[in-house]
Amino acid sequence: MKFNVLRTGGSFRASLASMAIAATLLSGTTLAQAQEHGGILTISQVADAQPVALLALRAGNTPWIRNVFETLTRIDPATFQPQPVLAESWTLAEDGLSMTIALRSDVTFHSGRPMTAEDVKFSFETAALPESTSQVGFIAREFESMDVVDDHTLNIVFKRPLSNVFDFFEETYIVDRDTYDQREDGSQVIGTGPYTFAEWSPGASITLKRYEDYRVEDTAWFDEIEVAIIPDPTATIAALRSTRTQIATGLTPRDTLEFTRNPQFEVVETGGTMYPLGVNVGIAPLDNKLVRQAIAYAVDRERINDQVFLGTGTVTDLFWSPSAPGYTDELASHYSYDPEKAKGLIAEAGAEGATIPIVVPAIPSQRSIFEIVQNNLREVGLIPEAVVLDVADFDKRQVAGDLGAAFLLLHGQIGFSSPTLLSSLPSLREGNPSGFWNDDYVALREAMLAATTPEALGEATTALTEYMLDEAYSTVLVQAPGQIVVAAGLEGVETSVRGGLILAGAYEE
Amino acid sequence: MISFLLRKLPSVAVVALISSAIAFILPRLAPGDPALAIAGSDATPEQLAAVREQMGLSKPLIQQYLDWMFGMFRGDFGQSFIMRRPVTTVIGSRLESTLELAFLAMLLMIAIGLVLGVLAGSPRSKWARVVLDIMTTLFLATPPFLTGLLLILFLGIFFPILPISGEVGFFENPWLALQFLILPALALALPQAAIVARLLQTAMNSARGEDYVDLAKAKGVSPGRITWRHVLRNSLGTAVVALGLRAGDLLAGAIVIEAIFARNGLGSLAVYSVQSRDYMVLQVLILGAVILAVFIQLFSEIILAALDPRIRLES
């Protein structure tokens, strides 16, 4: 079986579905064709690698890390069901409070040492530490204990049933406990994947080499994968067009536009970012729910999708994935563009002419979104003011939950389940920049976290979503997919649900 | 010249000391936090605090400064917060790329600047002068990034003659390295060369009105000899000062050019360090730039003295 990368033109959801088919076809199997090993694949990424943050989701690691490291399971992008990778099988106790995981016995690290349950335990314990900066580390902190039953069996006891434990497995790479402390300068980045991390020239390039002792023989077709760090989009495009690179990551829809109708390239949509507009419920006039709802009605999301993302995104009010239990089109379009209704709500709240400072990070897409939001709010009688912050400053204030009255955020966490997003997204978690945290919200969150069946999760999600939409403290404007450009002739490229490149089966025709 | 350099030493030391303090404080005045580059924008306050502690950012500023200063005297310039390698290793790995680019750009700037300047500063026909004026004006008005993009478009994509992305070390493969260098060096050199040419042209036109030129003409000296032996030599001082000043601009321009041509030199390192608030790298780069500027100025003074017997270094 082989997987041809997707052509642009389909919807985001269609792309995910197609990728899922490919993932299913390839999961745990080998390519049937008689491919030959050899050659060098060159890909580009905009951010530098961060070996120091192996257990966190980082733009600089996403394009290469899944080729060097592996996880216990991989989530099928279509069904969101976990597929085994390093885990052979798992058994969840009836009460949902413990899980026994059987590991593959033929896995070795690039150092040659066999992987054991101790390594898995070490990786999970490390991810739970705050300094790992893992977005899903909080899930591991819900583990009561981890017991190594034998070299290939691990038993985990949970403090409470964890419906999102597979998000943790998906994002937590199994690292070599012997060399983990030497990863920071890139000298010992040891995983179990089909390629080894051979060399890192900070800010310039990463070299991956085929792992000759990988447990699956017919895979990792290239001798080397060269990852060029090219932060400038113009230079990224030049590198692709001059055939220096065969895959380009980190481009915007505007950058990839010229490739969509070019038969020499194909554009793959994967992972993605959600773009919420948040307001601080403690600052007047936004402490009035009617004003918050008016703002949500006033914003023309379709226009943002068309003009900023060239129609590639999904217009929605919600943070959840469209395939999440409890996600409905009705909820997703609750705040359809309705300036008249917005005007009425503002008049009812007596907030005509109110000034709304909006903090915007100095990122082109966010500035473009602001332009539209600004026009929309002016139309309904508010006076928006841009407060543009340098990205480093913006990030610092986002972490501190101190972004002022209103703010345009972006979260690259598309693909996580709804219970995970509740605690991983800065917009939703405790200490969010909206200052929104009360007993009702906490109770609805707890109900969602406690749900153990899809039905119960769906009901809890709907209840929480309705409450969040009514409070309107933070509503998503668009969920936009990430885009990867692949040169024609390169086959077998896969992606994970959160946009990671999987090149084990990639080969040149 | 030795005594000249020795006399300059104390002032160079003072400049270096003051620069070190500025280089240390300046990046820290900008909002942001290097720990965020590690912790990520989605980090919780607890995660950020843990990373800050791990990176030693919780120490008082004065202690951090003194640690850095004393470290430098021992040859330890510190460790990059983000790349977790010694700053000297990080900078050293990028130095060759920038030096090669700056060196070739400097050669092109001198060659093109002098040729255009001498041609424009010598008696020419009306049309030749118009063409030369248009050329220098165009070069002067076109910023390096635009020249770079035009070169990429025409010589890299429409007519793929030269590589337009990446680089090869000169000592690894000189011929290939040169091919990778030509376009970025040309893009970088052209506007600077036009400035040098304009200054030289003006200086030469001015020199032509001097008495010694009239005397040479009266003595029957050939126009070529007047240009080369009298006018050009007396006008080169201006060009040398301009070249010294333009060297700094070349390094500044390299930031943009490196980005466009995907070269990994000090310019792109500086940009990355600013974005990620990697103070340790940034402060060494700033200090290095200041010291380099001081040495270029000293070098210009020495060259000026060699060209013009009226200028004595000791005076």
Same domain, yes or no: B28 and B97: no
Confidence tier at B244 by pLDDT (50, 70, 90): confident
Give the domain CATH number at A280: 3.10.105.10
The rounded distance, in Å, linking the Cα atoms of A14 and A11 is 5
Does the residue B82 lie in any domain?
no
Confidence tier at B212 by pLDDT (50, 70, 90): confident
Angle, CA B268 vertex, CA B262 and CA B273 arms, to 5°: 145
Q: String of b and e for B158-182 (b: at least 16 CB within 10 Å)?
A: eeeebbbbbbbebeeeeeebeebbb
Distances (CA, A) of B221 to B118, B122, B207, B224: 18, 15, 16, 8
Does the residue A475 lie in any domain?
yes
**Residue A474 near residue A427, CB atoms below 8 Å:** yes
Does the residue B292 lie in any domain?
yes
A242:B156 CB<8 A? yes
Q: What local confidence, expressed as pLDDT, does residue A40 receive?
A: 95
Does the residue B155 lie in any domain?
yes
Does the residue A16 lie in any domain?
no
Q: Which chain A residues are Cβ-neighbours of B162 within 8 angstroms?
A: none
Higher pLDDT residue, A130 or A2? A130
The type of residue at A200 is W
Tell me if chain A has a CB within 8 Å of the CB of B90. Answer: yes
Confidence tier at A32 by pLDDT (50, 70, 90): very low
The rounded distance, in Å, linking the Cα atoms of B230 and A509 is 67
Query: Considering only CA atoms, which of A228, A489, A294, A434 is closest in space to residue B168?
Result: A228
Task: State both tokens at A172.
Answer: 């937590």
Distance of CA B106 to the CA centre of its chain: 9
Does the residue B81 lie in any domain?
no
Distances (CA, A) of A265 to A6, A8, A41, A312, B261: 10, 10, 15, 17, 21
- What is the span of the domain harbouring residue A493? 36-51+183-267+482-508
Strand partners, A229: A45
Does the residue A7 lie in any domain?
no
Does the residue B116 lie in any domain?
yes
Give the domain CATH number at B193: 1.10.3720.10
Task: Quote the minimal CA–CA distance from A447 to chain B in Å.
Answer: 23
The rounded distance, in Å, linking the Cα atoms of A68 and A61 is 10
Same domain, yes or no: A153 and A212: no
Does the residue B78 lie in any domain?
no
**Residue B267 near residue B200, CB atoms below 8 Å:** no
Does the residue A63 lie in any domain?
no
Of B31, B149, B163, the CB nearest to A390: B31
Same domain, yes or no: B142 and B190: yes
- Nearest residue on chain B to A362, judged by CA atoms? B275
Q: What is the mean pLDDT of chain B?
A: 86
Same domain, yes or no: B62 and B165: no
Q: What local confidence, expressed as pLDDT, does residue B123 receive?
A: 76
Residue A310's SS3 state is: coil
Least confidently predicted of A167-171, A172-176, A476-480, B227-231: B227-231
* Contact residues, A window 327-366, toward B, CB-based 8 Å cutoff: none
Task: State both tokens at B96.
Answer: 């060759």
Task: State both tokens at B273.
Answer: 């360090």
Same domain, yes or no: A104 and A187: no
Tell me if chain A has a CB within 8 Å of the CB of B41. Answer: yes
Residues 6+ apart with CB under 8 A from B282: B23, B27, B270, B273, B274
Query: Considering only CA atoms, which of B271, B282, B38, B273 is closest in space to residue A51?
Result: B38
Q: What local confidence, expressed as pLDDT, does residue B231 receive?
A: 86
Number of domains composing chain A: 3
Chosen from B52, B83, B263 to mutate, greatest number of chain A CBs within 10 A: B83
Residues 6+ apart with CB under 8 A from B59: B67
Number of domains composing chain B: 2
**Residue A227 near residue A189, CB atoms below 8 Å:** no
Q: pLDDT tens digits for B84-120?
A: 889 999 999 888 898 899 899 999 999 999 899 888 8
Q: What local confidence, expressed as pLDDT, does residue A199 receive?
A: 95
Of B33, B42, B277, the CB nearest to A426: B42
Confidence tier at A407 by pLDDT (50, 70, 90): very high
Higher pLDDT residue, B58 or A45? A45
Q: What local confidence, expressed as pLDDT, does residue B205 receive?
A: 87
The rounded distance, in Å, linking the Cα atoms of B44 and B47 is 5
Tell me if chain A has a CB within 8 Å of the CB of B24. Answer: no
Higher pLDDT residue, B218 or A378? A378
Give the domain CATH number at A112: 3.90.76.10
B259:A231 CB<8 A? yes
Q: What local confidence, expressed as pLDDT, does residue A7 receive?
A: 30
Residue A463's SS3 state is: helix
Q: pLDDT tens digits for A282-334?
A: 999 999 999 999 999 999 999 999 999 999 999 999 999 988 999 999 999 99
Same domain, yes or no: B103 and B191: yes
Least confidently predicted of A74-78, A253-257, A383-387, B299-303: B299-303
- Nearest residue on chain A to B161, judged by CA atoms? A242
A480, pLDDT greater than 70 = yes
Query: Considering only CA atoms, which of A132, A151, A154 is closest in space to residue A143?
Result: A154
The type of residue at B231 is V
Same domain, yes or no: A142 and A286: no
Q: Which chain B residues are Cβ-neighbours of A393 within 8 angstroms?
A: 30-32
Same domain, yes or no: B102 and B58: no
Same domain, yes or no: B65 and B107: no
Q: How many other C-beta atoms can be found within 10 angstroms of the C-beta atom of residue B115?
A: 13
Same domain, yes or no: A172 and A241: no
Distances (CA, A) of A340 to A297, A299, A315, A337, B222: 9, 12, 20, 9, 86
- What is the span of the domain harbouring residue B143? 88-278+285-314
Same domain, yes or no: B64 and B99: no
Same domain, yes or no: A303 and A375: yes
Q: Which chain A residues are Cβ-neighbours of B33 within 8 angstroms?
A: 392, 396
Q: How many CA atoms, within 13 angstroms, populate the side-chain half-sphere of residue A24? A: 12
Q: How many other C-beta atoms can be found within 10 angstroms of the C-beta atom of residue A213?
A: 9
Tell me if chain B has a CB within 8 Å of the CB of A232. Answer: yes
Share of chain A above pLDDT 70, in %: 93
Same domain, yes or no: A286 and A205: no
Q: Which chain A residues are Cβ-neighbours of B259 within 8 angstroms?
A: 231-232, 234-235
The type of residue at A456 is A
The rounded distance, in Å, linking the Cα atoms of B77 and B284 is 7
- Nearest residue on chain A to B39, judged by CA atoms? A133
Tell me if chain B has a CB within 8 Å of the CB of A392. Answer: yes
Share of chain A above pLDDT 90, in %: 80
Q: String of b and e for A85-120 (b: at least 16 CB within 10 Å)?
A: bbbbebebeeebebbebbbbeebebbeeeebbbebb
Same domain, yes or no: A91 and A148: yes
Q: Which chain A residues are Cβ-neighbours of B260 within 8 angstroms?
A: 232, 234-235, 238
Q: pLDDT tens digits for A171-224?
A: 999 999 999 999 999 999 999 999 999 999 988 899 999 999 999 988 999 999
**Residue B288 near residue B98, CB atoms below 8 Å:** no
B312, pLDDT greater than 90 = no
Confidence tier at B314 by pLDDT (50, 70, 90): low
User: A181, A198, A230: which is the final residue of a domain?
Assistant: A181
Strand partners, A102: A89, A153
Q: pLDDT tens digits for B13-69?
A: 898 899 999 999 988 888 878 888 889 889 999 999 999 888 888 788 898 899 999
Does the residue A19 lie in any domain?
no
Q: What local confidence, expressed as pLDDT, does residue A331 receive?
A: 96
Task: Quote the minimal CA–CA distance from A55 to chain B in Å.
Answer: 11
Give the domain CATH number at A501: 3.40.190.10
Does the residue B83 lie in any domain?
no
Of A184, A389, A399, the CB nearest to B43: A399
A22, pLDDT greater than 80 = no
Same domain, yes or no: A425 and A437: yes
The rounded distance, in Å, linking the Cα atoms of A135 and A120 is 18
Same domain, yes or no: A440 and A500: no
The type of residue at B181 is L
Q: How many CA atoms, within 13 angstroms, populate the side-chain half-sphere of residue A312? A: 29
Same domain, yes or no: B128 and B273: yes
Helix ranges (DSSP H) in chain B: 2-29, 34-39, 45-55, 61-73, 87-120, 126-141, 144-151, 174-207, 211-218, 223-225, 233-260, 266-275, 279-307
Same domain, yes or no: B95 and B68: no
**Residue A158 near residue A96, CB atoms below 8 Å:** yes
Task: State both tokens at A99.
Answer: 């899980």
Same domain, yes or no: A90 and A112: yes
The type of residue at A168 is F
Strands A490-491 and A383-389: unpaired
Same domain, yes or no: A114 and A219: no
Same domain, yes or no: B54 and B168: no
What does chain B come to in residues? 315
Share of chain B above pLDDT 90, in %: 26
ipTM for the assembly: 0.83
Confidence tier at A89 by pLDDT (50, 70, 90): very high
Does the residue B224 lie in any domain?
yes
- Nearest residue on chain A to B79, judged by CA atoms? A185
Same domain, yes or no: B92 and B208: yes
Confidence tier at A167 by pLDDT (50, 70, 90): very high
Least confidently predicted of A33-37, A135-139, A176-180, A265-269: A33-37
Q: What local confidence, expressed as pLDDT, does residue A23 receive?
A: 39
Same domain, yes or no: A176 and A202: no
Same domain, yes or no: B232 and B172: yes
Q: pLDDT tens digits for B155-203?
A: 988 888 899 888 888 888 999 999 999 999 999 999 889 988 988 888 8
**Residue B302 near residue B295, CB atoms below 8 Å:** no
Q: pLDDT tens digits for A208-220?
A: 999 999 999 889 9
Task: Quote the minimal CA–CA distance from A397 to chain B in Å.
Answer: 9
What does chain A come to in residues? 509
Q: What local confidence, expressed as pLDDT, does residue A16 receive?
A: 35
Task: Quote the minimal CA–CA distance from A153 to chain B in Å.
Answer: 30
Q: What is the mean pLDDT of chain A?
A: 90
